[in-house]
Amino acid sequence: MKKAFSLLLGTILLAGACCPKAATTRAIPQDKEIERKIDSVMKKLTLVEKIGQMGQINADMLLLPGSTEFSPFAEVVLRKYKVGSILNTLHGTASTPEVYREFIGKIQKISLEETGIPCLYGLDQIHGASYTTGATLFPQELALAASFNDDLAYEMGRICAYETRACNVPWVFTPTLDLSRNQCWPRMWESYGEDPYVQARMGVQQTLGLQGPDPNHIDAEHVAVSIKHFMAYGASISGQDRTPAMVSKRELKEKYFVPFKACIEAGALTLMVNSSSNDGEMLHASKELLTGWAKESTGWDGMIVTDWADIRNLWERDHVAADYKDALRLAINAGVDMIMEPYDCKAFDLLRELVEEGKVPESRIDDACRRVLRVKFRLGLFDDPYGLKGDYSRFACEEFRQTAYQAALESEVLLKNEDNILPLSKDTRILLVGPNADVMRPLGGGWNYSWQGDAANDPQFTGQYNTIREALEQKFAKVTYVPVLEYDPAGDFQAEKKGNMAKALAASVACDVIVACIGENSYCETVGNINDLTLSRNQIEMVQTLAKTGKPVVLVLGEGRPRIVREIEPLAKAVVDVILPGNYGGDALAALLCGEENFSAKLPFTYPKYTNRLNTYDYKLSENRTTMGGLYNYDATIEAQWSFGQGLSYTTFEYSNMKADKTEFKAGDVINLSVDVTNTGKRAGKEPVLLFSSDLTASVTPEARRLRDFTKIELQAGETKTVSFSLKAEDLAFVGHDLEWTLEPGEFRLAIGNQSLMLNCVE
């Protein structure tokens, strides 16, 4: 199952039209015994109990303030309304497995007393078990994408599942599959970047790691996923969170749907909906997309859950419903199966009224309830509601820690290395500055022990890990840290406070190199909205001032999205973007800077140079054309700071001898390609090998290039390997104006590294 992706993409490309008929096969073949058990349970349920299974309430509403004791409202939620799902951590920060087990055990006891149906508990465990004290945390998805190593996505899923199930939590709201097409968007770091193939490939492997090999029978060491946020969430026009997108149905199908469909066909059990709208259509109210695309076109029998209070938002925020009751009518009839209503139970009374009034068919309630029950049976919750069958003695074991460390090593990107200033010898005298230098919070980002990630500064959660300063001090003989600029914990995530620049200037006299750790503090969702991608003026001026000393500067960028560094990049001899590498990010950086380890990552996004020139790598050719004849002087050029796929190493790689087994192909063919890659440097290194295609002429104006496959290889100094790819002809198809997948005759350029060749598609 681990390498199932290659078997899925052809199916994705050949899927039906945008208003699809029911699929002839199911995404997950049903287990007849499970279906029989669902039938048996359904016969016993009242309407109130069925609606209760569709409900989900925030955990804190069940607790007394500051306590793990049940509040009076818990009785209302679990006994009166029979609510079937609870979500979130307790009181806003991570808890130990023991605390979760005790709390969930209480919930299960009441749920089983009332209906005989266990509760489905869910957590935002998005880069490891991020709401679990002591768990193994990985780089965030955007950083992991930079590794171009989908084995690491699988391992992150596998380890997250094990450590989450140790809490008796069987459901996680991950992976995030939002194509991040606007670099200003504050949730960019939660996803695998801007490319649909990378999103699908990494998302499928993470899904397989989380759920295990059999989605019908998930064992005690795996969990159900909730792929999110369906869809076009990351295409926000304004770049602000939860704001509208304007993506055509054609592009929606060709790019945005692909990762979701791939994960559905890989067995994903649940799906969470985009909070906002696309082309004026609220996703939570779209029957075409929720029922038609997600369910019917794939034959998917999984469950759709809303995002936080988003049915209510159809009325209160988005004004597509007359009132809350009308919003429920729209969403449930569209295909929503579970209502994430975090604070009260009003929705369940209103939904009962809608059924009694005939405005929501009871058959739709039955379908939704069956989908919820199916997830619970597939998870084995009826057999083991208290989570007693698993052995979790390997929680946070050395193997898990080493895997997270390796993920950090392969996720940090070397973007500039002028005069080969890196690696630094261990006797290099370093002056260390910058707000990211001696704090854990910016290494992890949001969803990191707390929603905004601020809890990562608490030693009870991260005291055993190293900040960048602590990690550098373990590798280099002389590190002088001067807090010239720090994040202000009394303000929002952008607030900064100035320190002692004079002390830093004095210390620079005795240093060999200045390492400036700059970027962003952690943030999550709407809190991270900004109006300008430019790095803060304080940080820019800090680097400019220190560069005047004449000492070489190494910039270390830590950020959840690419902040504009155009003014200071020329002042630096080297630039490393660690993105959000997790708790082992400081250790990985120190090992890379001193040369014990080698860089091997490449950017999974386009790093912009200007705030008003935000592009993706798969731009249309008209976006990058300098002049044209006649009176009109056409001037549209793309000038990125760093391009998608850019990343350096301490060694060099040479590509040669690219071959294809055919010069002409037609639909149904497989094109076998190969290229020789040689390590021409003096040390071993890993290299992501990326295969791109360019359609030279098409009835829909083609992109400059599209990523079609990748693999990562390791080569010793002087070693050559032949890398092979098998590309299905259908992988070169696109969605036409008729919203159908099409492969048109004509020329295609295939490129790997600096090698390319031309192939011709024939009728």
Q: What is the DSSP string of 164-176?
A: HHTTT--EE---B
Q: 377, 408, 350, 297: which is closest to 740 by C-alpha?
A: 297
List CB contacts of 721: < 8 A, sequence separation 6 or more: 676, 677, 713, 715
Alpha helices of 451-500 — where are they, by DSSP H? 459-462, 468-475
Q: What distance in Å separates the CA atoms of residue 567 and residue 535, rounded to the nearest whole number?
A: 10
Q: State the chain's maximal CA–CA distance in angstroms.
A: 80
Tokens 């009870």 — which residue? 460
Token pair belonging to 74: 């818990």
Q: What are the beta bridge partners of residue 707?
A: 692
CB 39 within 8 A of CB 32: no
Tokens 């087994």 — which residue? 661
Q: What distance in Å separates the CA atoms of residue 326 and residue 282, rounded to the nearest whole number?
A: 14
Main-chain dihedrals φ then ψ at residue 353, nearest 5 degrees: -60, -40
CB 534 within 8 A of CB 564: yes
Q: What distance in Å separates the CA atoms of residue 625 and residue 644, rounded to the nearest whole number?
A: 19
Q: 147, 193, 209, 186: which is closest to 1 by C-alpha?
A: 209
CB 436 within 8 A of CB 517: yes
List CB contacts of 37: < 8 A, sequence separation 6 or more: 377, 382
Instruction: Return the sign of the alpha-carbon dihedral for residues 297, 604, 653, 651.
Output: negative
The type of residue at 511 is C
Checking DSSP bridges between strand 339-340 and strand 746-752, what pairing results, if any? unpaired
Residue 423: cis peptide before it, omega within 30 degrees of 0 = yes
Q: What distance in Å separates the CA atoms of residue 442 and residue 493, rounded to the nearest whole number?
A: 10
Q: How far is CA 275 from the centre of its chain?
A: 16
Write out the catalytic residue numbers. Answer: 307
Quote the strand ranges of 134-237, DSSP E: 171-172, 224-230
Token pair belonging to 701: 């104006």
Main-chain dihedrals φ then ψ at residue 269, nearest 5 degrees: -90, -25
Angle at 527 between CA 605 and CA 450, to 5 degrees: 90
Angle between helices 468-475 and 585-593 (to 10 degrees): 40
Q: What is the DSSP string of 401-443?
A: HHHHHHHHHTT-EEEEEGGG-PSPPTT-EEEEESTTTT-SHHH
Tokens 């499928």 — which residue? 204
CB 702 within 8 A of CB 695: yes
Q: 295, 204, 312, 332: which is closest to 21 by C-alpha?
A: 295
Angle at 456 between CA 452 and CA 461, to 5 degrees: 135
Q: What distance in Å separates the CA atoms of residue 198 and residue 24, rounded to the nearest whole number?
A: 28
Tokens 């259908």 — which residue? 730
CA atoms within 13 A on the CB side of 61: 19
Q: What are the beta bridge partners of residue 121?
A: 86
Provide the 3-class DSSP secondary structure of residue 335.
Answer: coil
What single-letter DSSP state applies at residue 447?
S
